[in-house]
Amino acid sequence: MKTARHIFIYIAILIIGCYTSQAHAWTPFKLQSVNASFAKWTGKTGQMVCIDGIGSDYALSNYLSTYIAHNFKYPHELIGDSISAHCDVTFDVDNTGRVSEITHIKVSKNIDCLKAEAERVITTLVFPSLPKIYDDKKEMYLPETKGLTIGFDIVPYPAEKIENKDELLEIMSSYGWYCATSSNGWGGRRAGWVLQENLKAQTSTQEKVEIFKTSKNPVVRFTAFNGLVEEHYPECVSLAKSCIDDSSSMGRWWGDLLLSSTLPDAVISELFSHKDIYTVADSLAIDSLVFYSPMTGAHKYRDKLLLRLAPTPERYSRVKELCYQEHSGSALHILVQYRKEEDKPLFIKALKEYSKGLDKRGACTEDPEDTEGRTNDALEAIISWPDKDFIPALVKLGDYELSRQFYDYQRIELFYRAIMEYDNEWAYGYIKELFTNKGANKNGYHRQYLYRAYYKNPHPHERFLNLVEKYAEKPWDWDYYRK
């Protein structure tokens, strides 16, 4: 979906290596994180936003992870191991997308040797080579822009094994993400991975259990759980059950992809990826806990669970709770299978939540508390229940979608799929009306997603074929998609 929400892309580069300097008696600098996207300084400390949403971060992140991490020498003998700082570099880009001038380098800690080293690496090593990157990456052309800023954290990290477990736990206590892979996606190794492996190697089974039960950091807890799974600890299922209602959040790195998660979602995923440490009965017991617990933090697992649960009579009351009281969109997929007249108002209400969490242009709002409505889930649900009582809400939704400046591609496809499932004269006439009098024929997204909605249906209704042939447009990636 195109949105007006400024996209914050934080690429954390954690590289472990061993480098020496003949000129300085300094220990190697280890990058903890790099925000490698082009960003415009907004005037608010620490806040950066992408310019026009252009994904120019890929080349820079690769470049910075290589040059800064390998060449920045942390002045250990001058300031010790405990000082960390943030560095912002502001520069101008000319109309060819090349860096034309570095205008400002700022280090959050007022330590001369840190700033001097930042200036040395950036001015002499990084930016002189950037024009070549742009020559190689024509698609990352940027218009002439003043005051772009990139930022990175200066964090000393010992390359050698940490023998003191308390020190290791203290370092990891500030971590907000778990490294599921050792690679950072750019040929380097993440420091977080080394810390995790270090912790697992230096703790006994009982110590891991205690860490899982008592630590306040979800990354530390999950690292301990991962170690217990690898040891085939027999009580892993019990530990997983004990954290079902935990709502603490964390990130999980997969190469250079960072995904958000909660601790119970991560724990359940880890447990169920090792089939030799749980039984079918264990799996059913965890499913039941996640399904019935109103406080569960395993939201992603529950969403997947709701898509595969059968609509049994004994589950109906809990499904209604999920829909009515806990506002679950995924629960609509199972509720629709009961086909109860009393639930129709809920589906109509969900269809009318089309602007919830969106601004006047149809883009997500800036407020993270503004969650989007359940319209997409409702559309997907009623594909199997094309009832006439839903038609007025669908017509209002159609008018709204054609008035938006920013689009939800999934919703457009689901919308046309739901309409075509009626397979009657009204549905035919309504789609024709949208494209002849409502402006859908002038909108490339509506033309392309009408095409997708028809041809992705394993059993398309031939009634609509002539409309598709007349108004729809074959998407540019269709042949690739169909392979």
CATH of residue 137: 3.30.1150
Nearest to 303 by CA among 278, 271, 326, 272: 326
Q: Is the pLDDT assigned to residue 10 strictly greater than 60? A: no
Asked if residue 2 is part of any domain, the answer here is no
Based on the domain organization, do 193 and 144 belong to the same domain?
no
Based on the domain organization, do 198 and 224 belong to the same domain?
yes
What is the rounded average pLDDT of the residues 168-196?
A: 77
Is pTM, for the whole model, over 0.85? no
Based on the domain organization, do 142 and 169 belong to the same domain?
no
Which residue range is the domain that position 245 belongs to? Answer: 165-280
Asked if residue 294 is part of any domain, the answer here is no
Q: What is the pLDDT of residue 429?
A: 97
Asked if residue 17 is part of any domain, the answer here is no
Nearest to 196 by CA among 16, 466, 3: 16
Q: Is the pLDDT assigned to residue 348 strictly greater than 80? A: yes
Based on the domain organization, do 172 and 98 belong to the same domain?
no
Asked if residue 9 is part of any domain, the answer here is no
Based on the domain organization, do 111 and 170 belong to the same domain?
no
Based on the domain organization, do 144 and 184 belong to the same domain?
no
What is the rounded average pLDDT of the residues 60-68?
A: 48
- Number of structural domains, the chain? 3
What is the rounded average pLDDT of the residues 45-66?
A: 35
Based on the domain organization, do 477 and 331 belong to the same domain?
yes
To the nearest 10 degrees (0 to 180), the angle between helices 375-382 and 409-420 is 30
Cβ atoms 263, 222 nearer than 8 A = yes
What is the rounded average pLDDT of the residues 452-480?
A: 94
What is the rounded average pLDDT of the residues 166-178?
A: 84
Asked if residue 20 is part of any domain, the answer here is no
**End of a domain among 260, 280, 300?**
280
Based on the domain organization, do 446 and 366 belong to the same domain?
yes
Name the more confident of 381 and 195.
381
pLDDT band for position 279 (cuts 50, 70, 90): very high
Helix and strand element counts for the chain (H, E): 22, 10
Based on the domain organization, do 329 and 451 belong to the same domain?
yes
- CA–CA separation, 165 and 480 (whole Å): 51
Based on the domain organization, do 336 and 455 belong to the same domain?
yes
Based on the domain organization, do 90 and 127 belong to the same domain?
yes
